[in-house]
């Protein structure tokens, strides 16, 4: 018969090409699944390895934030283990070293909650107080941070009185108290300058009654002498000067108070019934 013979060569070529494309697409699809499967669970690393990596970042690399993240990974991968307990206090310390005080407070509070009877609980509480303490601003700004520092450090003294951190906590508490007294003095002096003598007296009274052990109490007594004299309440002015002289005879503030008395033809004289006298008897 005449006519052209039918060949399958072109058909077979197209079929092979199609099969190859399908196989390539399948391979790419499998690769994409491997790349983007976010539910794939990686095997846990040994707890001691993660912990030591954290120590290396903290001590050798001087990367406290990186170290904190590594310690947190111990807790995530190995919860309720002894390594997790150790890593939690180390993450709090690392955040403190990094100046990440909020993160330090969160980690340390979690430690105290989970391990209240641990030997490191006192240190965790100390880290909380120290984080607040290190954020105390200069005297003209709000001092709520100083109050928080005092409260949290006081827990160290009350709950862990025999710990090595109790002495350091007491020292920081006194420094925070001095800061709070300084704030009262700052406002009192402003009121005095504005001739708001009652407002000034109220501020200086807080220093004398609440913060009597701070370095500001001497000036507070002299300013009370000044404010009471300005109001014409001579008896209280004489009492504040007398109490100042009795308790701080070498103070420069007593010299100023005595000079003020002398300029008015008066002498310091203590009225035992005055609130100022009672405040010092109770101290």
Quick one: which of 257, 226, 235 has its CA closest to 244?
A: 257
Which of 11-25, 138-152, 173-187, 209-223 has the weakest average pLDDT? Answer: 11-25
Q: Can you give the pLDDT at residue 281?
A: 75
- Measured in degrees and rounded to the nearest 5, phi and psi for residue 100 equal -90, 75
- Residue 167 CA to residue 162 CA, distance in Å, equals 9
Quick one: which of 226, 207, 227 has its CA closest to 217?
A: 207
**Per-residue pLDDT band at 283 (split at 50, 70, 90):** low
Q: What is the CATH number of domain 180-282?
A: 1.25.40.10
Q: Give yes or no for residue 247 having a pLDDT over 70.
A: yes
- Residue 250 CA to residue 258 CA, distance in Å, equals 12
Quick one: which of 212, 208, 204 has its CA closest to 187?
A: 204
Quick one: which of 235, 283, 240, 281 has its CA closest to 258?
A: 240
CATH class of 46-115: mainly alpha
Q: 148 or 28: which carries more pLDDT confidence?
A: 148
Q: Can you give the pLDDT at residue 9?
A: 42
Quick one: which of 121, 127, 54 has its CA closest to 85?
A: 121
Share the mean pLDDT of the chain. Answer: 87
Q: Decide: 274 and 203 in contact? Cβ < 8 Å.
A: no
> How many angstroms separate the Cα of 125 from the Cα of each of 55, 88, 156, 163?
22, 13, 6, 11
Average pLDDT over residues 146-155: 96
Average pLDDT over residues 18-36: 37
Q: 12 or 232: which carries more pLDDT confidence?
A: 232
- Predicted confidence (pLDDT) per residue in 44-102, tens digit: 799 999 999 999 999 999 999 999 999 999 999 999 999 999 999 999 999 999 999 99
- Residue 256 CA to residue 201 CA, distance in Å, equals 18
Q: Can you give the pLDDT at residue 10?
A: 42
The stretches of the chain forming alpha helices (DSSP H) are 9-36, 47-59, 64-77, 82-98, 101-114, 121-133, 144-159, 165-193, 197-210, 217-231, 234-247, 252-263, 275-282
- Residue 35 CA to residue 159 CA, distance in Å, equals 52
| Highest mean pLDDT of the ranges 23-27, 39-43, 230-234 | 230-234
Q: Give yes or no for residue 152 having a pLDDT over 60.
A: yes
Q: Above pLDDT 70, what percent of the chain?
A: 84
Give, in degrees to the nearest 5, the angle at Cα 171 between 170 and 172. Answer: 90
Chain-centroid distance of CA 151 in Å reads 11
**SS3 of 214, please?**
coil
Q: Can you give the pLDDT at residue 23?
A: 32
- Predicted confidence (pLDDT) per residue in 161-198, tens digit: 999 999 999 999 999 999 999 999 999 999 999 999 99
- Residue 203 CA to residue 188 CA, distance in Å, equals 5
Q: Can you give the pLDDT at residue 50?
A: 95
Average pLDDT over residues 267-279: 95
Say whether pTM exceeds 0.95.
no
Residues of the chain with CATH 1.25.40.10: 180-282
């Amino acid at each position: 018969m005449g006519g052209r013979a039918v060949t399958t060569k072109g058909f077979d070529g197209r079929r092979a090409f199609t099969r190859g494309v399908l196989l390539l697409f399948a391979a790419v699809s499998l690769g994409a699944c491997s790349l983007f499967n976010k539910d794939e669970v990686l095997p846990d690393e040994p707890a001691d390895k993660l912990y030591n990596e954290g120590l290396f970042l903290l001590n050798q690399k001087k990367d406290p934030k990186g170290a904190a993240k590594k310690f947190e990974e111990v807790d995530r991968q190995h919860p309720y283990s002894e390594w997790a307990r150790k890593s939690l206090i180390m993450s709090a310390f690392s955040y403190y070293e990094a100046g990440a005080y909020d993160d330090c407070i969160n980690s340390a509070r979690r430690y105290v909650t989970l391990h209240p009877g641990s030997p490191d609980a006192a240190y965790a509480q100390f880290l909380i107080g120290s984080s607040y303490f290190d954020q105390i601003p200069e005297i003209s700004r709000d001092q709520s941070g100083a109050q928080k520092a005092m409260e949290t450090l006081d827990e160290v003294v009350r709950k862990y009185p025999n710990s090595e951190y109790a002495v350091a906590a007491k020292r920081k508490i006194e420094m925070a108290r001095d800061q709070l007294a300084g704030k009262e003095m700052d406002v009192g002096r402003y009121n005095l300058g504005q001739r708001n003598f009652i407002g000034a007296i109220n501020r200086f009274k807080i220093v004398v009654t609440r913060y009597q052990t701070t370095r500001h109490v001497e000036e507070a007594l002299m300013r009370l002498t000044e404010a009471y004299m300005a109001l014409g309440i001579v008896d209280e002015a004489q009492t504040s000067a007398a109490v100042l002289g009795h308790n701080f005879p070498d103070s420069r503030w007593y010299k100023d108070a005595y000079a003020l008395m002398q300029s008015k033809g008066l002498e310091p004289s203590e009225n035992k019934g005055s609130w100022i006298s009672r405040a010092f008897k109770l101290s």
